[in-house]
Amino acid sequence: MDFDYQAMRTFADSWGLVYLMAIFLFVVFWIFRPGSQKHVDDAAQIPFKED
């Protein structure tokens, strides 16, 4: 099967967008899931910790 530039571009424009949107929604869900507040607060304080 021979794919040219236009076919690959069309595939990336359609399914690539779906793929990236799914990753984005997963990350948003993962951050705002119940019980993650402690982990988020710990990560937010990393720049202020002294070694």
**Running along the chain, 51 residues long, what does each successive block of 10 average in pLDDT?**
83 90 95 89 91 65
Q: What are phi and psi of 36, to 5 degrees?
A: -100, 0
Question: What domain range is 29 assigned to?
Answer: 1-50
Tokens standing for residue 21: 């949107």
- Count of the separate structural domains present in the chain: 1
Residue 23 is predicted with a pLDDT of 97
Q: How many CB atoms lie within 10 A of CB 36?
A: 13
Q: How far is CA 2 from CA 5, 8, 9, 28, 48, in A?
A: 10, 10, 14, 37, 54
CA angle (27 as vertex; 23, 29 as ends), nearest 5: 115
